[in-house]
Structure 1
């Protein structure tokens, strides 16, 4: 087959092209022809198809995402915001921290190990590309029903992939979630996050400027794995009834990535890089077009110079390949020799594949023949924008009217006790140690808090003990009931978790997981969740620094619950003053902070005991969340509390169980006046936490709460070897531990 050059494309305008097979719509193909003034070459068509995919172009979501910029709160901490590989915030002492959460959902269903492993690899390279050393990862995960046979295939593979890749990189895995729900049966959510640390002056951006500067591709050779990859795969719906486009999932090599990290940090240290971009979704198509688009000139690339693992790859396949462990750097000519020398030292293949030009075009050649001549912005930043129709689904009113308050409640103390045990043993509330024990949480020696704590925390300066904390949260059940409130509750919980650890929340990254944007009901869910999150971030003063949208998460016409996952990053001046969740000493006084109401819509109790989803989620009070956060941070800093645990899924009894088991001590609880035991134990009212206060600090702590107007109710004491709800029941810790810890290993045996 003869090469489809730009000249040939100009001379043969009527040649048929496989635009539909590549995922383009007819009007999109016509738009490409209009931009170019001719039909695209095969290579150009390949580039536009992956870069204009839903995954890369955000064509259905960007009209809503602009709210994160329009409603952005004033923040002295924000250094780099939306639009770069990852956001960057100032954490003091000259340090900057970059963080981001992304998805690798579809690949992880097809090939759980490699899909999850390369999800970790990709997010780590995003952080590296900002100029930072990656210091920790997190992994919010969602799977189908815990007892479904396919969960036994997907979950162990995903966990092994995350652990295998992250452990080999020497990065501690300090946080995340594991959630089970049948709505994720054919579409698990594998989100991955990473934190990186650098000095302010070391921030790097993805742009190609300076005519004559060289374009260097370095890292692994380019292969046939992942051709089209996540860019195509994440831009369509799985279908049980017919074959679907399922490109080869990328194959990861963590040892190659470790070399790439150290090599990149060394070239950064020697100031050899003028611009840099990792190769993730859309591979070289993305890296070349985005670098050129963000720069001040054009770019010429010799594609046949790209080192290959498979010599039979066509130019189109090379441009679409999403082979892992690759980066693209812009380097001044007099620094190229030293750059290549450092790459050779680290046994990293590096090749000059082009240069920055003083033109305005991205030009790509194959053995001397021009196969691409495009305006780079048209590929990278000026793709389609869809104003998808959206409408509140007809079933939403009935769902909200099906109030969980109508469900039968325990009729006796014995039944109440049975339901507590059933709750703490349920897959979503049970111990996730089977998962987290496969991750190295303490490598590098700077992990301060990790699972099952409220937030992960790492020290970033060994002399001053400056540290950062991160928490990721999301509740698809809440968001199904009310997407606007559900997104705000996700933010509130992550914010609360960070504050409970003693860190001050600073900024947000998000991963917005939804069904097909072609469904008006799903698009309404997305629009409402985005609006809710933007409004809440503005009110809490936590700007969104970046993130990811993952659409088409459904099989056939069955969509997942709308699942906005929110990551909150916080800073703590001294990690030695952090607050753990464990009730570690007898005699500590237990205080419940916040107001408890009869709120059971979307609750763990309604799911576990009644398999019910209906009603309204807990009420959101962002002023209360901010006040609670301030109290928790001050109490941690001033030594007024020994332990703190936020209240969320499962309510007070779940939090107390986790804190007791973590510390090895029991608790005697007294139901406060005005509450019944059931509501006291199982309500999921937001804006609450339970704290353990040393007796010597009780007066100071309660005075602070009273002065600030935060309800603080003494509900018991750390004591004994059981959870004893006075006048109701007692459960020995040994019985609770067995119930809590046996579930996940039993399901996966």
Structure 2
């Protein structure tokens, strides 16, 4: 990329002269789509970020909310970011540094990172290249997360043809602030304070990463763009985590920003711009690991494990001492001023521009958008139910993801009360006596079929995941991924996911604290599906939650969207069934009152009579029931009622806002949901270890071992 003619003219008009080479590169990166959100910002006002619990909303490195506490006031931070292009070029390092970056966003708020979530999207699992990317990304996440001692506790993995040329790696982090006085923001405070760079030395890696992330991937990206990919060192990051804690403990930090996109130039200019201030920076003061670096390299290198701190002059020596204790470099690179953002290099001024113009001067794009066309009804015919069951339950999209999460240390820090593999992880925040449920993901099949309705379903499904564990949805962050926004049909789909996600979050009264936008996820293979990853947390008293696995002792009920009331409601659009067998259909309708459904589900999940709860969405009822049985517990399910709809729609229709409940008090569940959502009798759980389903067109019967054999397709193919 290079600075466009129109942007160049704006810069010349503001500066009153031609920009220097370093200034042009800095503007190019800070005004890129990745940093400035030029195409997406006009849409983001749709999100509601306010609420009594919100402490810091969008615009900082992470959002901050208070959580219920039985003692001192307690905050959590939430952040999410994408490392999509780097993970295509170098899957291990691209994914690893995505983890490192979102953890440092957490540190810069004064928080300690306590949980990670990864939502991953790849091309068709049968393709060798997709598996190469998949294995490398998971290895990178596990290596970095395990080394720094932050558990990866939840997430999602999806396979879809349209990610073949451009996978997505979205990583979210939750941090803990157990004392409000420890909160730090990225807003510079006072002229005269020093800017101190702490952490790893600066090299040439990651140069131009922000601009690289703002263009379509070229056919030769894996070789030509490798220098734009950062290389991480998790052991240094672990030292930085502990050093950051020590600096916060001693109240040595006035403001902070991690060095991510656009490197030192991005972090330092954004800090002072937020405070309406400027800075004087001497680039040769930066501690480096490579000789003969030039000004542009100092400014824009995205070397990892670095933080920029604003420090009062009298505290600089103590900051140096703490950095030295943790074997980290520390450089006083300049100070906060009331003037422009000025950088000098070897006696020459290489940057002299208003900080606010650098950060906020990029004009927004007014792009045309085409509405997606509605899917016609064109369903496959003559599909055998056993064949369909085995194909859907055994699809890599709906199969067990244990191969992924067993590589992550989810028990480090000893907080994970409900581990990966359930609807949501539950973390024990013992400092507050509060359980924190955490869910993250999206479904590209849904948002390909219907961007707006699919995104609404993504939000409702994540809320249902935490509610099924007895937690009330509390706050969220999003990672909005799209293709080239200059294409009207692509931008129309992206607009649809923004509006749909925002509308459902608002309906559920879940503030969106911020997030990340990643556009230009386009390649020679075409654009990705519009993909709205949502990372959502819920809160509850205590840490116990009903499991997804059946106990084998209660009645089975399906609660939620009208999926058993005939084909008019039980649509198959966006389902794995259609992905396997072809055809199209309209996306199914959602609940009339999703907020009431979620609130009621929280109460029912916490009732002593509730033995198991499991969200019913991806893969439909067939996958939900298959996931709930075990060698110790089975189920007998009766769907033999022709007025309820076709067997395919009953078993494989996918709708958000549904849950299967095993209970010893079915009447109480019906009473709780009366007037809120339909409740259907499915049958009962038992100790058979077998799933038996009666249908109008015949019966299905699979034991736990057969189902496990279908669901371990990823393990079987990769190990």
Range class of TM-score, shorter chain: over 0.9
Q: Who is 2:93 aligned against?
A: 114
Secondary structure (helix, strand or coil) at the match of 2:388 reads helix
Measured after TM superposition, the shift of residue 239 of structure 1 is 2.7
Q: Who is 2:636 aligned against?
A: 668
Q: Who is 2:572 aligned against?
A: 600
Q: Who is 1:407 aligned against?
A: 380
Distance of 1:26 and 1:681 partners within structure 2: 56
> Contact 2:507/2:595 (CA < 8 Å) preserved in 1?
no
1:671-710 to 2 correspondence within 5 Å? 671=639, 673=641, 674-676=643-645, 677-693=647-663, 695=664, 697-706=665-674, 708-710=675-677
With over 3 angstroms needed to count, the CA separation of the structure-2 counterparts of 1:114 and 1:664, relative to structure 1, is: farther
Distance of 2:225 and 2:16 partners within structure 1: 30
Residues matched between the structures, number: 702
Q: Who is 1:133 aligned against?
A: 112
Secondary structure (helix, strand or coil) at the match of 1:67 reads coil
Q: Who is 2:132 aligned against?
A: 153
Match of 2:538 among 537, 548, 570: 570
Secondary structure (helix, strand or coil) at the match of 1:580 reads coil
- CA RMSD of the aligned region, Å? 1.7
Does residue 697 of structure 2 align to residue 730 of structure 1? no
Secondary structure (helix, strand or coil) at the match of 1:518 reads coil
Secondary structure (helix, strand or coil) at the match of 1:506 reads strand
1:166-185 to 2 correspondence within 5 Å? 166-185=145-164
Match of 2:552 among 586, 594, 597: 586
Runs of 4+ in 1 over 4 A off after TM superposition: 241-246
Measured after TM superposition, the shift of residue 557 of structure 1 is 6.8
With over 3 angstroms needed to count, the CA separation of the structure-2 counterparts of 1:101 and 1:251, relative to structure 1, is: same
> Contact 1:210/1:296 (CA < 8 Å) preserved in 2?
no
Measured after TM superposition, the shift of residue 245 of structure 1 is 5.2
Secondary structure (helix, strand or coil) at the match of 2:558 reads strand
Distance of 2:98 and 2:599 partners within structure 1: 35
With over 3 angstroms needed to count, the CA separation of the structure-2 counterparts of 1:241 and 1:195, relative to structure 1, is: closer
Secondary structure (helix, strand or coil) at the match of 1:370 reads strand
1:190-205 to 2 correspondence within 5 Å? 190-198=169-177, 199-205=179-185
> Contact 1:495/1:568 (CA < 8 Å) preserved in 2?
yes
Match of 1:475 among 427, 435, 443: 443
The farther-off stretch of 295-304 and 257-266 is 295-304
Q: Who is 2:239 aligned against?
A: 259
> Contact 1:175/1:471 (CA < 8 Å) preserved in 2?
yes
Distance of 2:262 and 2:125 partners within structure 1: 33
Secondary structure (helix, strand or coil) at the match of 2:253 reads coil
Q: Who is 2:566 aligned against?
A: none
> Contact 1:299/1:356 (CA < 8 Å) preserved in 2?
yes
Q: Who is 1:544 aligned against?
A: 512
Match of 1:535 among 490, 503, 518: 503
Q: Who is 2:716 aligned against?
A: 746
Distance of 2:67 and 2:632 partners within structure 1: 35
Distance of 1:385 and 1:63 partners within structure 2: 7
Q: Who is 1:488 aligned against?
A: 456
Distance of 2:224 and 2:264 partners within structure 1: 24
> Contact 1:282/1:320 (CA < 8 Å) preserved in 2?
yes
The farther-off stretch of 364-373 and 347-356 is 364-373
Does residue 59 of structure 2 align to residue 83 of structure 1? yes
> Contact 1:672/1:713 (CA < 8 Å) preserved in 2?
no
Q: Who is 1:438 aligned against?
A: 407
Does residue 539 of structure 2 align to residue 558 of structure 1? no
Measured after TM superposition, the shift of residue 255 of structure 1 is 0.5
The farther-off stretch of 258-267 and 638-647 is 638-647
Q: Deviations over 1:608-661 (max 9, x none)?
A: 2x144x33222133x432222112211222323121111111111101111114
Measured after TM superposition, the shift of residue 67 of structure 1 is 2.1
Measured after TM superposition, the shift of residue 672 of structure 1 is 6.2
Q: Deviations over 1:573-596 (max 9, x none)?
A: 2112x122111x222211110221
Match of 1:282 among 250, 259, 262: 262
Secondary structure (helix, strand or coil) at the match of 2:610 reads coil
Secondary structure (helix, strand or coil) at the match of 2:677 reads coil
Q: Who is 2:490 aligned against?
A: 522
> Contact 1:233/1:247 (CA < 8 Å) preserved in 2?
no
Distance of 2:98 and 2:58 partners within structure 1: 20
Measured after TM superposition, the shift of residue 241 of structure 1 is 7.7
1:242-257 to 2 correspondence within 5 Å? 247-257=227-237
The farther-off stretch of 637-646 and 171-180 is 637-646
Measured after TM superposition, the shift of residue 78 of structure 1 is 1.1
Does residue 194 of structure 2 align to residue 214 of structure 1? yes
Measured after TM superposition, the shift of residue 409 of structure 1 is 5.0
Secondary structure (helix, strand or coil) at the match of 1:250 reads coil
> Contact 2:593/2:676 (CA < 8 Å) preserved in 1?
no
The farther-off stretch of 105-114 and 683-692 is 683-692
With over 3 angstroms needed to count, the CA separation of the structure-2 counterparts of 1:625 and 1:473, relative to structure 1, is: farther
Match of 1:313 among 290, 293, 305: 293
Secondary structure (helix, strand or coil) at the match of 1:728 reads strand
Q: Deviations over 1:427-472 (max 9, x none)?
A: 111111111111111111110123211012211116x631211111
Measured after TM superposition, the shift of residue 371 of structure 1 is 1.3
Match of 1:455 among 419, 424, 427: 424
Secondary structure (helix, strand or coil) at the match of 1:642 reads strand
Secondary structure (helix, strand or coil) at the match of 2:572 reads coil
> Contact 2:162/2:525 (CA < 8 Å) preserved in 1?
no
Distance of 2:671 and 2:188 partners within structure 1: 57
Q: Deviations over 1:103-131 (max 9, x none)?
A: 00000000000000000000111111111
Q: Who is 1:657 aligned against?
A: 626
The farther-off stretch of 34-43 and 103-112 is 34-43
Measured after TM superposition, the shift of residue 703 of structure 1 is 2.5
Does residue 358 of structure 2 align to residue 388 of structure 1? no
Q: Who is 2:599 aligned against?
A: 630
The farther-off stretch of 635-644 and 178-187 is 635-644
1:347-362 to 2 correspondence within 5 Å? 347-357=327-337, 359-362=338-341
Q: Deviations over 1:167-196 (max 9, x none)?
A: 001111111111111100010011111000
Secondary structure (helix, strand or coil) at the match of 1:670 reads strand
Distance of 1:471 and 1:524 partners within structure 2: 27
The farther-off stretch of 30-39 and 555-564 is 555-564
Q: Who is 2:36 aligned against?
A: 57
With over 3 angstroms needed to count, the CA separation of the structure-2 counterparts of 1:672 and 1:498, relative to structure 1, is: farther
Measured after TM superposition, the shift of residue 679 of structure 1 is 2.8
1:410-425 to 2 correspondence within 5 Å? 410=383, 415-425=384-394
> Contact 1:147/1:747 (CA < 8 Å) preserved in 2?
no
> Contact 1:173/1:450 (CA < 8 Å) preserved in 2?
no
Measured after TM superposition, the shift of residue 73 of structure 1 is 6.5
Distance of 2:622 and 2:632 partners within structure 1: 16
